[in-house]
Amino acid sequence: MADSQILALFVAQSLNDPAPDGAVADAERELRRSLPEGFREFLAVSNGYDDALGRGYLSLWPAGQLALRNEGYEVASKIDDVVLIGSNGGGTCYGIDWSGGAPQFVSVPFMPMQRSELRVLGASFGDFVEAISRGDGW
């Protein structure tokens, strides 16, 4: 799916200002991970998002909050090789899983947050956004 098609799925008035210069690089340094290109590109357009997305709901955290929220949820001690990037506004969080080498976008319940509960939503940011839009993010 082309970038313009992905952005068309978002509620335009809910898009934020772009991430400040250096914010994505700072987040990657703090997380010790390079974020997938599609997600990096989204943050360059909208530093987070919090609204409906088709049949789903998507709350993507701003670049400057990624490391802080992952520390707060103690993600590293619960699921190796996963970085959370947001939630559905309820009991499900969304993240990126690097355990298989290539990153995959996943969902997992906040409780219990464990690898056996991971559900793959897509191999790219576009696939992930499409899954949320279809209502498959739960």
Residue 72 belongs to domain spanning: 3-134
CATH number for the domain spanning 125: value is 3.40.1580.10
Q: Rounded mean pLDDT of 3-29?
A: 88
The 10s digit of each residue's pLDDT in 30-42 is 999 999 999 999 9
Tokens representing residue 78 in the block:
């619960």
pLDDT at 6 over 80: no
Report the domain count for the chain.
1
Looking at residue 3, its pLDDT comes to 60
Give the integer Cα–Cα distance in Å for 104 and 111: 20
The 10s digit of each residue's pLDDT in 71-123 is 999 999 999 999 999 999 999 999 999 999 999 999 999 999 999 999 999 99
E strand or H helix that includes residue 85: strand 82-87
With the C-alpha atoms ordered 34, 103, 65, 71, is the resulting torsion angle positive or negative? negative
